[in-house]
Every structure is written in C-alpha cells, then in structure tokens.
Amino acid sequence: MDMILEIKDASFGYSQKTVLRNISFNVGAGELLCLLGPNGVGKTTLFKSILGFIAIKGGEITLDGQNIKKWSKSRLAKAVGYVPQAHTTPFPYTVLDVVLMGRIAHLGPFSSPSRDDVKIAEESLERLGVSFLKDMTYTEISGGERQMALIARALTQKPQILILDEPTSNLDYGNQVRVLLQIKKLSEEGIGVIMTSHFPNHAFLCSSKVVLLNKNGFKIGKADDIITETNMRDTYGINVRITRLADNHGAEIKSCVPLAN
Amino acid sequence: MLSSDAVSDEPLRNRAAAADARPMSRAKKSGLVLVILFILLLAIFLWSFTVGRYAVPLPELLTVFFRKMFGLSATWSDTLETVLFNIRIPRIIVALIIGAALSVSGAAYQGLFRNPMVSPDILGASAGAGFGAAMALLYSAGSLTIQLVAFVFGIIAVTLTYLISRLIAKGNNSVLVLVLTGIVVTSLFSAFISLAKYTADPNNKLPEISFWLMGGLASITAKNVSLVLIPFVIGIIPMLLLRYKLNALSFGEEEAQSLGLDTKKIRFIYILCATLITASAVATGGMIGWVGLVIPHLARMLVGPNYKYMLPASVLLGGAYLLLIDDLSRTIFAVEIPLSILTAIIGAPFFIYLLFKGRDAWT
C-alpha cells in the first residue's frame, strides 16, 4: 500500500516546446499534494505526463522506484487513477455503468465486468456516500454528483495514487467543499492524492503539501510555508492577505483573501 | 445554496428508491430484450420465404429444411430447389448480413468517434465502394467482379483516410482529424462517381450505375454470398469480443487510456473490422443509407448505451430491419423498389420520432 510516486528532475512539454524544467517532488501514501499556479503555467501538462498521455522530455517518473515509462496502460491504471473535470458523455450511461468502467484495467481483453466487479464499484460509491446515484443516468445528475461518480470510478481502479484535475471546477460553493472534504478523507485513508486547483484556500482546507508553479520555477512545501502573501503576488500578480481564524472546535484555519487595492 | 441543494437532491433520491424497487435488474432486462430480438429476427427470416414471387409456404419450407438437414431425398420440385437455394436463401442471408454489418459498424463508430450522428460511411467506405462499382459497371463487368472491385475500392478509400489523417496528426491520433479527412475522402470519391456517371453511355451504362448505387439485392445469387459472408464473419468476431471496451472509448481518448485501455490498438481494430464489413456490405447491396445511423439509436433505446448489450442488439435489429425492408422492396410493387429509397422513406420519419422521444438528451 505504501507506494511512492517520484518525479525526478523531470521536464515536461509538447513536441517542440518544453513547458516545465527540472521538476522534482514526490507523493507517498496518504499524502495530499495541491498543484497551484496561474493558467498556462503547465499544471495540466505535468499531470498528463504522469498519466502517460504525454511523453516526458527529461528526467524520470517512478512508482516505488520503477520507471513508469515502459509500463502498459493497464499496469499504470491499476496504480494511478485519474479523475477528469466533471463532463457529460454523448450517451446516457447509468452511474453504475460509468463507475464500473474503472474495472477495465483489471479485466481480460475480451471480458466484461463480473458480479465481483459490480460489488467493487458499489463499494466505491458507498465509500463516497453517494450510493443513491447508482441507477441514475449520468447525463442527468448535477455537476457535483458527476464529479463524485468520476471519483468513484477512479477508486474502482483500486489505485494507490489519485490524480484529480480541478475537482472543484464548475461546482457550487457547497459542493466544492463537500468534494474537497471527501478527497481529504481518501488521502487520510492511505491514498496518495495529487490535485490541481485555482484556490489557495483549498490547500489550506485540506492541509496539504503544495507545489507552486510560476514563471520563476517551482516551490514545494507545506501549505503554510508556500501560500504566503509574497508568493501569491509573484505567482498570480495580485495582492492578498493571509488571515487566521479559529473553527468551532478552536482549531486554527488560514484563509487567503484577495485585496481590492 | 445548501438548502437548494438539499431540495434538488430529494426527487433524485426518491427516483433511486423507485429504481431499487424494480424487480428486474437492467442487465437481466437487456438480456431478455436480446432474446426477444433474436426471436423477432427468426420470425422475419421465416416469413421472408412466404412472400413475393416464388413464395414458399411455411410447412413446405420446414419440410425442405428438415429433409436437407438429415440428408433425406427431395420431395419437392427442381424449380423450388433452384429458387430456394440459388436465389431466395442467398438473398435473405445477404440482406441479414448487410443490415447487421451497417448497423454494427454505425454503432461502433458512434462510440469510437463519440458522436451519435456518425454512420458507417464516415471514413469513405461507402463512397469508395460506390466508385469501384461504377468503374466495374462502366467496363461491363459481371456481378462477382463488380462486388470484388467495389469491395477493394471501399478498403482503399478508408486506407487513404487513415493514412492521410496519420500524416496530418503526426502520431497524436486525433479523432477529429480522422473524421474530417473521412469527409474529404468521401466527397472526393463521390466526385469520382459523378465523373464515372458523366462519362457513361446515357442509354444503358448510366441507368445501370444509378440503379446499382440506389441499392438492391435483386441480382444476388448463391455465388455472391461468400464475398459478403466471409468478411462479415472475420470482422464481426473481434468487434463483438472487444465490445465492452468501446464504452470507455466513448469517454474520449485520454480518459480511456487512464482507465487502462490501449486506445490506439482498439481504435485500429475497430476501424479495420468495420471497414471490412461495411465495404463488403456496400459492394454487395449498393449504397444503403440510414441503417447504420438509425438502428444503433433504436438499439440504445431498447437496451441502454452499454455496448455489452447494445452491440449485439444492433446486430440483431439491423439484420431484421434490412431483411424486412428487402421483403417490402420485392413485394409492394411489381417492380422492385431500390433499398436506399425505402430505408430513407422509413428511416427519416422514424429518426424524427427517435429525436422526439430522446429530446431531453439533445436539447
């Protein structure tokens, strides 16, 4: 269960253009890493490279010390689960159908999911507390529910690492928080999580490790150390104030508040 | 916001409870629908012998089948033997295969290209085969040669589409580039067809080409069967075996990869198989539209979008549908009506009906 994903001195980019250079960090079991950075800095390029959609241009990516470059898609899918932004499909699949597709990496080339696979898919929905979605039509549920269904699908792959692409985009305020708390819970249960976000507060909420990407390179550290007023100005070009307040149980939470002037 | 969310969740939960209360699971229901479709296909198959010219009554037909099967001596006339085994059975088999081939290819392509508006001729198989047939007709070839040349040109057209799109996309296989290239190649071969027609003798060759393109099975005899049956069997087996994986492809390239699928390989296999069976179907029956578009929608409506059930349903429905259309084509009037005319006259209003039924999903 203690799988570690390591990015070692890697460069990322498309055919001609290198977007990110000399990136190194790692994510272990139970860790939550939040990828912050402005539009176009290469967050998407980075996680697409980890998922093997794009070949890396230098360095290496290893899982438990093994270079994943030559791994088959199904071997990678058993280790790393991907949660895309909530979307719709052209066809009206049921939520269970969608979640069951997470078993594909575990199936033989000619087989379709068995009763046991259905059980695993149902467990994933239950784990997220959304079993009631099971028989609903994926194209007719809300954005937040679709995001939950996609997380359930990734869990059904039984991965040790979960990669989420802006899991809160297009969600209302309540659903954003609900989805984030769910993700935090998963990482506490032992899954290594990498997610991209546009909101520094999401990193505070999940008390995660942060990789901050900007034009000066990258910084890695605890949310408290990385999300500072200076770093936010350098990264996003805006002035913010970091405030502290206490929640109902007296625990301190931080918040990043943008300033109007 | 929280309260509005809670409110909006309520009806959904109730709907889920109602769904749980249903006695039969969706899988079982889809399985049952497949059995019913098979029985329907069998019924249309048997009924097809009893209509039109040289109609054979059912009891006599069953006697023939029975005695043939056990190698008993013939109790029927030689004429019946010839009509049945050289004309009627080949035509029925070919109609079944063409219908099944077009609809299964359409169903696969709709998933592969993530677009419910796609039909099996999208990559140029149909236009290519049409051009091949027009050329063969221009040179007064026999029916078997026409079938063969049309088949080869159907394959050539799709190969061209595939290669050009690979060149354009430089290895990043883009579905959009493939479909756009297919449209270009289709229109190119359509122009070649027009050119063939333009140069054809307007007294005999031109009408021949025109009638061939409209689609029909009147000239089918036993010798035409193998050139459509063999590609069909070779093509449909991998398509059926791999069908569950098509579901993931309909979520897009990257997602399917992240689920553990070798998308390039699967897509190549499906395009190869669909091209094989579409080209041979068009080469045998002419350019028959609508089947590959409408039948997959009907199948989806009956058993849901899961390809595990949807693809077999498309095979059964497509076969039954085209056989029925062909029966109509040879029985409604004294002269046979070209198949593409009937499939359009029946298919177009039916598609409108499907759009009405599924309009929530479209708008």
Optimal mutation site among A44, A111, A132, A145, interface B, most CBs of chain B within 10 A: A132
Average pLDDT over residues B278-294: 95
CA angle B242–A81–A98, rounded 5-degree value? 50
Q: Which residues of chain A have pLDDT under 70?
A: 1-2
pLDDT of residue B362: 52
Question: Looking at the domain covering B87-361, what would its CATH class be?
Answer: mainly alpha
Q: Tell whether the model's pLDDT for residue B2 goes beyond 50.
A: no
pLDDT of residue B6: 38
Q: Does A110 touch chain B (CB under 8 A)?
A: yes
Give residue A191's Cα distance to chain centre.
11
Task: Name the more confident of B250 and B5.
Answer: B250
| Residues from B in contact with A at Cβ < 8 Å | 1-2, 5, 8, 12-13, 15-16, 19-20, 26, 110-111, 114-116, 170, 241-245, 247-248, 250-251, 254-255, 257-263, 300, 304-306, 308, 360-361
- Give the chain A residue nearest B21 (alpha carbons): A135
β A240-246/A217-222 pair status: unpaired
Per-residue pLDDT band for B296 (boundaries 50, 70, 90) equals very high
Optimal mutation site among B7, B14, B20, B259, interface A, most CBs of chain A within 10 A: B259
pLDDT of residue B357: 78
Q: Tell whether the model's pLDDT for residue B91 goes beyond 70.
A: yes
Q: In this predicted model, what pLDDT tens digit does every residue of B257-268 receive, in sequence order?
A: 999 999 999 999
Residue matched to tokens 């069967």: B225
User: What residues pair up with A256 in beta bridges, in sequence order?
Assistant: A242
The pTM (predicted TM-score) of the whole model is 0.91
| Coil, strand or helix at A103 | helix
pLDDT of residue B171: 62
CA distance B4 to A23: 44
Q: What is the mean pLDDT of chain B?
A: 90
pLDDT of residue B13: 44
Q: Tell whether the model's pLDDT for residue B10 goes beyond 80.
A: no
Per-residue pLDDT band for B321 (boundaries 50, 70, 90) equals very high
The answer to whether the beta carbons of residues A102 and A121 sit under 8 Å apart is yes
Average pLDDT over residues B328-353: 92
Query: Could you tell me the CA-to-CA distances from B151 to A72, A120, A144, B154, B278 in Å, in that order?
Result: 36, 46, 49, 5, 9
Q: Tell whether the model's pLDDT for residue B225 goes beyond 90.
A: yes
Return the number of other C-beta atoms located less than 10 Å from residue A237's C-beta: 9
Tokens coding A195: 């997610």
The answer to whether the beta carbons of residues B341 and B214 sit under 8 Å apart is yes
Q: Of B230, B265, B261, whose CA–CA distance to B248 is shortest?
A: B261
**Of A171-175, B130-134, B356-360, minimum mean pLDDT range:** B356-360
Q: How far is A67 from chain B (nearest CA, A)?
A: 17
Average pLDDT over residues B20-40: 83
pLDDT of residue B360: 60
First to last CA, chain A: 48
Locate the domains of chain B by residue range: 87-361
ipTM over 0.85: yes
Give residue A20's Cα distance to chain centre.
19
Q: Of B272, B292, B296, B291, whose CA–CA distance to B339 is shortest?
A: B291
User: What residues pair up with A60 in beta bridges, in sequence order?
Assistant: A8
Per-residue pLDDT band for B24 (boundaries 50, 70, 90) equals low
Per-residue pLDDT band for B173 (boundaries 50, 70, 90) equals low
Residue matched to tokens 């899982």: A63
**How many residues would you count in chain A?**
261
| Coil, strand or helix at B197 | helix
Query: Could you tell me the CA-to-CA distances from A204 to A41, A175, A200, B324 in Å, in that order?
Result: 21, 17, 7, 66
Write out chain A residues lying below 8 Å of B171, CB-based.
Answer: none
